[in-house]
Chain A
């Protein structure tokens, strides 16, 4: 059996991995849906856009569901605190997510243009809004959220919904939307042709520029934020609960990990360059290279944030000691071991059959195909 400290570290990586699983695959669907109003001018073109992701979006969204459930099992304190602290924001996100399963399945079941127009809006909101909220939420981690624990480890929240929005967090939200739009555009470029593909190509160039610029700007901004650091903590190889540590705050602390291990600068530099590279590849019409570059962008940008925050997961702005970290927000050693085995078996299996499904559904979706299969397509 692995020792507790190693397990905690592995689980930090696994949570990041599951988040990447969603951002990389579900990110296509959120991004494509966000771009839907601009990518398709006619109903047939919009159906092309929707059908590029139609057969696979459901499985991709399961990464999000699994991410949530894995939080519940491995980081129950984070799951409990994050979901109740972000109550209103998450309920709004839920409303937006509601529009997706029904939007995909119901839209083309009736020919009425008003019906289809309404679902196009639904799909747009269902794609754009969750991306925005996830970005705003991650931005708030850098500022800390106003919550604290009492002595029975009951979490309480002392802020409002609107308090989540500030200059910094709105920008992280926009960055998330731009990044996923970039990634979605690359997928659409690969899987469509003619006018739709040409629009997707332009979208890669534009979104790539916005993503790189915002990411760089936020990187500069983060240096002046009051970061968090651990001054002392109980033995992390044993049972630790929040409140058993001392936390310091100071400008630039979010970059402490990068200063300690300068090789890590490679990650944010990749996050700045790859979106531009994706635009360049699109300009050259290298479809696969563009997709590889946007995938790399998503990974680099998310991992950059993860490294900066580590070991913090959910910092508290009003009571820094209550902050949750990878050391003290975890399940018991037994549960972490068990769940590690489950993940080690099933994630490769999922990757295997998911790629088979993508192989079966490969190829471009065209307007002619939609017209031919008008009764079976989304």
Chain B
């Protein structure tokens, strides 16, 4: 019995919302942990207390954010089993591996040492504590590596093979899974994006202190760390965009074509559509502004390979669906205990297309009796709606360029020791705080919405992946999760803003704004800005 369509759609909505919610907190954890390492390293090397205070203050905000990251992360691990049971059965043999390694290698490291980061200041030597901070950062970043290996495999399922006896995909080569080019590109890109988000956070909050002329010594140093780290990160985000991962894997090719609204295959080197209005009904892009050569260079890193267009991809998919029908026919015979040589050969020849055959289950339970019209519909299902992908991608890229501008100018004026008069830049940095999150959400939307109609590209359609639970149960979890999340998020934001307003005075060292009298305060400002 297949899960009801309502269950599939609700489960998709729930997974999308909870994953995006989780990813509100992850980027800050990834990047802020390194900013803590940088600040603390300077403290250990120079012995200047202000760097310890920076580590502890940004560490407090790190902690508030980290708690929500852990909270929302648990949901995702539960959800594969609760809502996507058939998926878990079908690919657990491969997909479960990076998740389990993530727990053992990375998450344990991060969460065992994070307690020591907060409570170990008086129990550890300076160097030992720095080591602990480093291990927290290493753990959180390694954690991202294994999660993205798992996610990369959903986009480009290499190193695995279908076993008809167990009715699932099984591991053939762990090396292929780990060194999956899609996963590696995603890892670098996602990590650097997290660093950008954290840098923008520290930059913006520090800019706000500078605008208010409070704790300027503290704020200026934080601003400098964020500007440097942010500039390096935003460069790698842009240069190492994950487009390089878009040429291998079926779904990746489709995404690339959709992002660029490439309806037809153009001869190499392809031009990029900088702007235009994708028109899905007539399958063309209105008012397209095209820049020659660029797309070919970005996507294929060459001038002689074409970027395949949507119409050609759909024709390819139709052929693969027909081949998948033969695979399915052989599978049914093999499972019924008829392993005749003919059937085995037929299965071996066509099993790479089994997933495409499964797409027909939406139209006819027997698959093999699909009409040409049904095959056409299934082929159409493999092409996502172009406009949302086209626009999300451009939002992401546009914001990336804005971040480059902010970090570069910040760095420039810092280097010229002329930051304070640039109030426009400080204001811009404050306003830009939420924007990296917008860019990150847009990026994930492209990656995951663009993966439809598959959970595992070319292998398992989404509508087959869900658990056979009642819609009522999913309504219950969806409403419950969202209620809890909104409530907890409101509390988190309240605390975050409260502690940002308190600033380093929340450390109760007696050295900061509100703790010092007006005279000592301005004396301190004069002293720190002079140094």
Query: Do the beta carbons of A79 and B123 come within 8 Å of each other?
Result: no
Which of A83, A101, A376 touches B81 (beta carbons < 8 Å)? A83
B254: interface (CB < 8 Å): no
Q: Nearest residue in B to A98 (C-beta to C-beta)?
A: B71
Q: Nearest residue in A to B174 (C-beta to C-beta)?
A: A338
Query: Do the beta carbons of A69 and B78 come within 8 Å of each other?
Result: no
Q: Nearest residue in B to A353 (C-beta to C-beta)?
A: B112
Q: Nearest residue in A to B87 (C-beta to C-beta)?
A: A80
Which of A72, A87, A102, A357 touches B88 (beta carbons < 8 Å)? A72
Residues in A61-90 with C-beta less than 8 Å from chain B? 61-62, 65-66, 68-74, 76-77, 79-84, 87-88, 90
Query: Do the beta carbons of B171 and A94 come within 8 Å of each other?
Result: no
Among the stretches A52-60, A184-192, A297-305, the one at the interface with B is A52-60
Query: Do the beta carbons of B104 and A342 come within 8 Å of each other?
Result: yes
Tell me, in angstroms, the Cα distance from A154 to B86 when the chains sit together: 6
Q: Nearest residue in A to B146 (C-beta to C-beta)?
A: A69
Given contacts A79-B81, A101-B68, A376-B118, contact A350 B104 (CB under 8 A): yes
A351-378: CB near B (< 8 Å → 1, else 0) gives: 0011001001100000000000001100
Given contacts A59-B111, A80-B86, A91-B480, contact A102 B67 (CB under 8 A): yes
Which residues of chain A are near B165, meaning CB under 8 Å?
Answer: 239, 241
A150: interface (CB < 8 Å): yes
Query: Do the beta carbons of A66 and B82 come within 8 Å of each other?
Result: no
Which residues of chain B are near A73, meaning CB under 8 Å?
Answer: 92-93, 96-97, 99-100
Q: Nearest residue in B to A72 (C-beta to C-beta)?
A: B96
Query: Do the beta carbons of B112 and A346 come within 8 Å of each other?
Result: no
B414: interface (CB < 8 Å): no
B1: interface (CB < 8 Å): yes
Given contacts A61-B111, A76-B88, A156-B468, contact A88 B74 (CB under 8 A): no
Tell me, in angstroms, the Cα distance from A107 to B166 when the chains sit together: 49
Tell me, in angstroms, the Cα distance from A69 to B498 when the chains sit together: 36
In the complex, which of the residues B88, B167, B473 has the most CB atoms of chain A within 10 Å of its own CB atom? B88
In the complex, which of the residues A65, A68, A241, A343 has the most CB atoms of chain B within 10 Å of its own CB atom? A65
Given contacts A91-B480, A346-B108, contact A375 B507 (CB under 8 A): yes
Tell me, in angstroms, the Cα distance from A70 to B102 when the chains sit together: 10
What secondary structure prevails in chain A residues at the interface with B?
helix
B497: interface (CB < 8 Å): no
Query: Do the beta carbons of B74 and A65 come within 8 Å of each other?
Result: yes
Least CB distance, A378 to chain B, in whole angstroms: 9
Which of B70, B78, B167 touches A94 (beta carbons < 8 Å)? B78
Query: Do the beta carbons of A105 and B467 come within 8 Å of each other?
Result: no
Which residues of chain B are near A357, meaning CB under 8 Å?
Answer: 112-113, 115-116
In the complex, which of the residues B64, B100, B481, B507 has the most CB atoms of chain A within 10 Å of its own CB atom? B100
B89: interface (CB < 8 Å): yes
Which residues of chain A are near B66, meaning CB under 8 Å?
Answer: 101, 105
Query: Do the beta carbons of A350 and B108 come within 8 Å of each other?
Result: yes
Which of A79, A239, A347 touches B104 (beta carbons < 8 Å)? A347
Least CB distance, A135 to chain B, in whole angstroms: 18
Which residues of chain B are near A334, meaning CB under 8 Å?
Answer: 170-172
Given contacts A55-B116, A332-B171, A346-B105, contact A151 B335 (CB under 8 A): yes
Residues in B145-166 with C-beta less than 8 Å from chain A? 163, 165-166
What secondary structure prevails in chain B residues at the interface with A?
helix
Among the stretches B312-320, B386-394, B488-496, the one at the interface with A is B488-496
Query: Do the beta carbons of B121 and A80 come within 8 Å of each other?
Result: no
Q: Nearest residue in A to B72 (C-beta to C-beta)?
A: A98
Which residues of chain B are near A375, meaning CB under 8 Å?
Answer: 506-508
A142: interface (CB < 8 Å): no
Which residues of chain A are near B82, meaning CB under 8 Å?
Answer: 83-84, 87, 90-91
A155: interface (CB < 8 Å): yes
Residues in A108-133 with C-beta less than 8 Å from chain B? 109-110
Which residues of chain B are near A61, meaning CB under 8 Å?
Answer: 111
B279: interface (CB < 8 Å): no
B120: interface (CB < 8 Å): yes
A157: interface (CB < 8 Å): yes
B302: interface (CB < 8 Å): no
A106: interface (CB < 8 Å): yes
Tell me, in angstroms, the Cα distance from A98 to B76 when the chains sit together: 12
Which residues of chain B are near A59, meaning CB under 8 Å?
Answer: 108, 111-113, 115
B16: interface (CB < 8 Å): no
A95: interface (CB < 8 Å): yes
Given contacts A106-B495, A157-B469, contact A62 B477 (CB under 8 A): no
Cβ contacts A to B, 8 pairs, < 8 Å: A58-B70, A62-B112, A70-B103, A73-B100, A102-B492, A110-B495, A153-B166, A339-B97
Q: Which residues of B contact A (CB under 8 A)?
A: 1-2, 63-64, 66-68, 70-71, 74-75, 77-78, 80-83, 85-86, 88-89, 92-97, 99-105, 107-109, 111-116, 118-121, 123-124, 163, 165-168, 170-172, 174, 335, 467-469, 473, 476-477, 480-481, 484, 488, 491-492, 495, 498-499, 506-508
Give the 8 A-B residue pairs with the shortest CB-CB distance, closest first: A83-B81, A76-B92, A73-B96, A59-B112, A72-B96, A66-B103, A55-B115, A84-B85
4 further contact pairs, Cβ within 8 A, besides A94-B74, A331-B93, A331-B170? A69-B77, A79-B96, A106-B491, A335-B97
Q: Which residues of A contact B (CB under 8 A)?
A: 54-59, 61-62, 65-66, 68-74, 76-77, 79-84, 87-88, 90-91, 94-95, 97-98, 100-102, 104-106, 109-110, 150-157, 239, 241, 331-332, 334-335, 338-339, 342-343, 346-347, 350, 353-354, 357, 360-361, 375-376
